[in-house]
Amino acid sequence: MTTISRPRLIGPGINRVDGPLKVTGRAPYPNDFAYPGMVHAVLVRSTAGAGRITEIDTTAAERSPGVVSVLTHLNAGPLARGPMTPLGVSPPAPLQDDAILHYGQIVAVAVAETFEEATEAAYAVRVGYADEPAVLDLDDPRAKVRTNPWGRDADRGDVPVALAGAEVVVDETYLTVDNTNNPMGPLTTVARWEGDTLVVNNSTQWASLEGAALAAAFGIPEESVHVVAPYVGGGFGAGLRVWQHVVLAALAARVTGRPVKLVLTRPQMFTACGHRPKGRQRVRLGATREGALVAVQHEARTASAVDDDNFEPTASVSATAYACPNVITRDVQARLNVPVPNSMRGPGTATGNYALECAMDELAYRLGMDPLELRLRNDAAVHPPTGLPWSSRAHKECLERGAELFGWSRRTHEPRSMREDGLLVGYGLAAVGYPWFRARCSARATIRRDGTAYVCSAGTEIGNGAYTVLVQLSAEALGLDPGQVTFGLGDSTMPMAPQTGGSSLTGAVGSAAHEACRALVGAFTDLVADDGDSPLRGCTADDVEPADGALRRRDDPAVHESYRDILARHHRPDLSADGESTPLTADELGMAPAGAFGAKYVEVRVDPDLGRIRVARALSVIDGGRIVNEKTARSQIIGGTVGGIGMALFEETVSDPGSGRIANATLGDYIVPVNADIPDMQVEFAGSWDRANPVGTKGIGEIGLVGLAPAIANAVFHATGRRIRSLPITLDQLL
Ligand code: MOS
């Protein structure tokens, strides 16, 4: 038999399999679902920053045209709080009492025949408050302070002694502000009850958590919650929780007996579904004159909500970033009267890396050393806390290849030493490591009589290209063309999947799909084990190789049989198998699962008279393990780069220091980069197959954003000689 040559399936990439559906409007996003008799719910939010509700008058709202129901804490009835696991924490159950914990807290829901009628009714709800002073400052002594409950603070060696003996020391403090995720698709829930079953179309990054949280809220079995979310309009972390409005849409559907649609308005997106919390970080670095790090002490204090258990480790990036014998990281959170913070792309890591990589740049200048040289000199060749080898690491390659592509050698070390066209030119660099995270995941694979395959798992597509890479990985494992494989996502009745978060989706679902496909190959060889008519008789899964819609004997590739022929002869319409992927621990692997690495190089140009900062170039070199699809991977990094430029130069959720009222809760006032702010972005991939999962990948959903802020801050210093130790860096700070 001649081997059919075909384009390489994994690597260069294929176009998005869901692209045509999306651009023709046929991909159903949560807001596209509508049902007969559906009514609309609109939220009423607190105008007090802390205190109690003293009265709530819904008379006018209830008389408003089209109103079906108005829910407040007086009639909502008891709702239980959802799960509280390290990653899947639930916010407090909504509308349970008169306490106001933050400005913008949901205090009522108006339900009416149309969205406009519900909006009018929401405005007619009258609420009286007894205000109490809101605790909003990170250093307010009234704020309760939490330490890291998951035991991830690092403490190795003897930092005080090492710092005291260090020849060169940096000790600086860096400030970051609240940022708000703002995915393009406002979070939407369409909820309906079919008898005792709750069905929700919801903007979620985690269908399985959705089921658990809603089941808990209403005291029903998890099997009685059916989440359907085949497409979600972005998330950046906003969809990683089952927020109060989701529970309230389901409650409104139960109370009214009608399907209910609830769409957050853009201003509500600033208070209802998480944000990157503000913080202050102190970084102390000690080094020898030759630039060897002898001590790292990184302490972060970030904001959390009064009643919430999310914990975002920030300083912990410093535990593994560099080879250093003496390291302390400490994360604490101050409980403030703010909306519940939550993951926003690169949570903790983006802020922690910002402070560490700025401090490294400061150290380089104190040493009179090239910042690239300093990083290479302290490269963590093994996993610093354990000494284990990494599952793969091309960190040095990222830095060196980046320097070459960027033309780093053209940089002159002195600040303010490079000029072009009357502008100050600055080069900046940051090194990045993105932590490995992967959770248990299941998938099911089916091959049908016509030789096509269907593979599914309850993960979600949030614009990241999940459908596409999962089709590729499944096609690879089954020896099919991508066009013969359909992948199903976004339905809680599918095999359990963890969150589309923590840069873990491809590794988790891809590995589970791979295992399911391997099991399916085994199911085929089992089927023909005693089949005298099959050339594969007696073969096990290990004896065959899937290719071109068939299984070939490894010992004799000329001997093969197609899936279709096997199914036809055995009168089977299809054959299915389940697969599960359980991440191995470092001990089981005998190595440290590495996560992704990267190097970010930027050039900024600063107007010396006006202080105007422009990013002229941004280069990312990423070790993302085996890249399944360079096209979608590049898109991930480019998108993250834009987010990183936003974090560095534009984004700030501004709130009133007295009440916490958010002053810029629209996309007109919350500044994000526009096309004119975005330079030529270059993306390169380094690295190769990672040994920590069966498909060789590493997560690349978040590393695109991480490192941009310090690279830009360092470039601004190089251009101007001004060390700005807070984000965002704005022109007024440079005048
Ligand atoms: Mo991401 S912040 O884990 O969606």
pLDDT in tens, 559-590: 999 999 999 999 999 999 999 999 999 999 99
What's the pLDDT tens digit per position in 340-387? 999 999 999 999 999 999 999 999 999 999 999 999 999 999 999 999
- Please determine, for residue 151, whether its predicted confidence score (pLDDT) is greater than 90: no
Q: Are 107 and 44 in contact (CB under 8 A)?
A: yes
Distance CA 621, CA 642 (A): 15
Calculate how far, in angstroms, residue 404's C-alpha sits from the geometric centre of ligand 1: 31
Q: Are 541 and 480 in contact (CB under 8 A)?
A: no
Calculate how far, in angstroms, residue 344's C-alpha sits from the geometric centre of ligand 1: 6
Is 620 in a helix, a strand, or coil?
strand
The Cβ-side half-sphere exposure at 43, using a 13 Å CA radius, reads: 29
- Please determine, for residue 1, whether its predicted confidence score (pLDDT) is greater than 80: no
Bridge partners (DSSP) listed for residue 176: 279
Q: Are 491 and 559 in contact (CB under 8 A)?
A: no
Calculate how far, in angstroms, residue 512's C-alpha sits from the geometric centre of ligand 1: 20
Mean pLDDT confidence for 523-543: 96
Calculate how far, in angstroms, residue 719's C-alpha sits from the geometric centre of ligand 1: 33
For a mutational test of ligand 1's pocket, the pick from 187, 345, 506, 703, i.e. the residue with the most ligand atoms closer than 8 A to its C-beta, is 345
pTM: 0.97
Which atom belonging to ligand 1 lies closest to the Cα atom of 236? 4
Ligand 1 pocket, residues with Cβ under 6 angstroms: 205, 235-237, 240, 343-345, 347, 501-502
Bond prior to 728 in cis (omega within 30° of 0): yes
Q: Are 179 and 344 in contact (CB under 8 A)?
A: yes
Calculate how far, in angstroms, residue 659's C-alpha sits from the geometric centre of ligand 1: 29
List of domains in the chain: 19-26+439-582 (3.30.365.10), 33-132+184-234+239-272 (3.90.1170.50), 279-437+589-733 (3.30.365.10)
**Cβ density class 591-606: b for 16+ within 10 Å, e for less:** bbbbbbbbbbbbbbbb
What's the pLDDT tens digit per position in 189-224? 999 999 999 999 999 999 989 999 999 999 999 999
For a mutational test of ligand 1's pocket, the pick from 89, 203, 236, i.e. the residue with the most ligand atoms closer than 8 A to its C-beta, is 236
Distance CA 693, CA 416 (A): 46
Model confidence at 6, in pLDDT bands (50, 70, 90)? very low
Distance CA 274, CA 637 (A): 23
Which atom belonging to ligand 1 lies closest to the Cα atom of 346? 2
Torsion 622-628-631-632 (CA) sign: negative
What's the pLDDT tens digit per position in 298-352? 999 999 999 998 899 999 999 999 999 999 999 999 999 999 999 999 999 999 9
Q: Which stretches of 210-357 are assigned E, i.e. beta strand? A: 225-228, 260-263, 279-287, 293-305, 327-336
Helix (H) or strand (E) holding 190: strand 188-194
Contacts of 392 (CB under 8 A, 6+ apart): 594, 623, 625, 687, 688, 689, 690, 691, 692, 698
Sequential DSSP letters for 42-77: EEEE-SSSSEEEEEEE-HHHHHSTTEEEEEETTTS-
Which atom belonging to ligand 1 lies closest to the Cα atom of 181? 2
Q: Which stretches of 361-491 are assigned E, i.e. beta strand? A: 419-420, 423-434, 441-448, 453-456, 485-488
Q: Are 397 and 623 in contact (CB under 8 A)?
A: yes
Which atom belonging to ligand 1 lies closest to the Cα atom of 499? 3
The reported pLDDT for the residue numbered 155 is 96
C-beta neighbour count of 451 within 10 angstroms:
16
The reported pLDDT for the residue numbered 684 is 97
What's the pLDDT tens digit per position in 471-511? 999 999 999 999 999 999 999 999 999 999 999 999 999 99
ipTM of predicted complex: 0.96
- Please determine, for residue 3, whether its predicted confidence score (pLDDT) is greater than 70: no
For a mutational test of ligand 1's pocket, the pick from 87, 181, 209, 240, i.e. the residue with the most ligand atoms closer than 8 A to its C-beta, is 240
Annotated catalytic residues are 702
Instruction: Name the pairing type of β-strands 327-336 and 155-156.
Output: antiparallel
Distances 324 to 120, 328, 399 between C-alpha atoms, Å: 60, 11, 19
Which atom belonging to ligand 1 lies closest to the Cα atom of 205? 4
Calculate how far, in angstroms, residue 505's C-alpha sits from the geometric centre of ligand 1: 10
The reported pLDDT for the residue numbered 86 is 74
Distance CA 101, CA 121 (A): 24
Residue nearest to atom 3 of ligand 1 (CA): 501
Is 163 in a helix, a strand, or coil?
helix
